[in-house]
């Protein structure tokens, strides 16, 4: 049995932007944890609903375990999470969206895993999906994706998709080591962090849904970004490939998965690439490459093992530089 000294302090970070109707359930799910060595760091990203700040002030006054940060302007989830991490006193950071909630034993089971696997600096779990009325509508498991045939190879599996999602508990030291959340990648900042940490430290997985993710239209916070998330995801993936020396520094890349999307969005994604952005492009079939190749200055193609359904396309150095400068121009506006 673990002693008190074996129980690291967990800082549960909750970035808030409105969602008044879900806040109590979210915060209470942490206060009711069976694990006792935790703190809650709530940061409100200048919510427009005045009830939110009033409620947050009230509950933080009642519980000494809650630290409340009130921003006077909306800065987006990446900046908000960075500010909360800076204020956190725990050795590990747990991320919780303000419209979701935790299983009562979530922190207990996660810290048990960390105790048994001291080399792990990032542990994640499966998650259940709920609707606006708390009805459970599904569960997602790490191994649901047929392209993932080894659920212990987290580092490589992150090149297939963002597998290391909620609930995620990350070493604060490891998080700061990779620079925290990149404000330019708000919306996919968690993917970027997972890729970076997996290149330096071991990741761990708990095959149990300990996180309840609510499905609805609104997002947790407002970033004001004009760049679609698939553009940012592609950029995070491309930089990871370069860090891992899987592509050269002066190369750009298109990730084509013919089985990935088979709907009207596919054409929109391809259009983004033709317009000059360095993105992850989903292509319904390889024959679509005949249309794209002449338009993006393709110089060679190859199948990148071990993912047989993944095709990487190398494009010219000039286009790569154009792509990066255009993305940088948009992210700084």
| Of the candidate ranges 175-189, 302-316, 319-333, the one whose mean pLDDT is the lowest | 302-316
pLDDT tens digits, one per residue of 160-176: 778 888 899 999 999 99
Residue 239's pLDDT band (cuts 50, 70, 90)? confident
More confident call, 160 vs 213: 213
In the chain, where the domains are located: 4-214, 229-331
Q: Which residues make beta-bridge pairs with 39?
A: 11
User: What architecture (CATH level 2) is domain 4-214?
Assistant: Alpha-Beta Complex (3.90)
Residue 40's pLDDT band (cuts 50, 70, 90)? very high
* Contact present, 98 and 178 (Cβ < 8 Å): no
| Of the candidate ranges 81-90, 130-139, 220-229, 302-311, the one whose mean pLDDT is the lowest | 302-311
Long-range contacts of 31-35 (CB under 8 A, 24+ apart): 31/63, 31/65, 32/104, 33/102, 33/104, 33/105, 33/106, 33/107, 33/108, 34/104, 34/105, 34/107, 34/108, 35/7, 35/10, 35/105, 35/107, 35/108, 35/111
Rounded to two decimals, what is the model's pTM? Answer: 0.75
Element (H, E) at 255: strand 252-256
* pLDDT exceeds cutoff 60 at 136: yes
| Of the candidate ranges 65-79, 149-163, 197-211, the one whose mean pLDDT is the lowest | 149-163
Name the residue with tokens 């000494």. Answer: 64
Mean pLDDT for 29-36 is 96
Taking residue 318's Cβ as centre, other Cβ atoms within 10 Å add up to 11
pLDDT tens digits, one per residue of 63-89: 999 999 999 999 989 999 999 999 999
| Cα–Cα separations (whole angstroms), residue 54 to 48, 219, 246 | 12, 21, 50
């Amino acid at each position: 049995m673990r002693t008190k000294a074996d129980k690291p302090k967990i800082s549960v970070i909750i970035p808030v932007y409105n969602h008044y109707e879900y806040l109590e359930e979210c915060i209470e799910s942490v206060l009711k944890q069976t694990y006792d060595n935790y703190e809650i760091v709530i940061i409100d990203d200048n919510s427009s609903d005045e009830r939110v700040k009033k409620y947050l002030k009230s509950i933080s006054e009642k519980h000494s375990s809650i630290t409340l940060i009130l921003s006077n302007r909306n800065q987006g989830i990446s900046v908000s999470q960075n500010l909360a991490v800076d204020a956190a006193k725990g050795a590990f950071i747990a991320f919780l969206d303000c419209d979701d909630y935790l299983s009562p034993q979530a922190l207990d089971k996660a810290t048990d895993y960390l105790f048994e696997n001291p080399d792990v600096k990032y542990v994640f779990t499966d998650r259940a999906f709920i609707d606006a009325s708390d009805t459970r509508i599904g569960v997602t498991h790490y191994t649901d994706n047929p392209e993932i045939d080894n659920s212990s190879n987290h580092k490589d599996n992150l090149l297939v998709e963002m597998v290391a999602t909620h609930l995620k508990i990350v070493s604060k030291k490891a998080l700061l080591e990779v620079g925290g959340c990149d404000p330019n990648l708000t919306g996919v900042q968690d993917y970027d962090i997972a890729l970076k940490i997996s290149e330096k430290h071991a990741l761990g997985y708990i095959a149990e849904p300990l996180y309840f993710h609510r499905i609805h239209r609104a997002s947790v916070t407002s970033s004001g970004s004009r760049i679609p998330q698939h553009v940012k995801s592609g950029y995070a993936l491309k930089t990871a490939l370069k860090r891992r020396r899987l592509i050269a520094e002066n190369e750009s890349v298109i990730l084509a998965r013919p089985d990935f999307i088979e709907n009207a969005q596919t054409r929109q994604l391809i259009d983004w690439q033709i317009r000059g952005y360095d993105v992850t492009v989903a292509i319904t079939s390889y024959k679509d490459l005949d249309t794209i190749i002449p338009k993006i200055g393709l110089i060679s193609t190859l199948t990148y093992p071990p993912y047989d359904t993944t095709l990487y396309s190398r494009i010219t150095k000039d286009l790569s530089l154009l792509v990066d400068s255009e993305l940088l121009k948009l992210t700084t506006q």
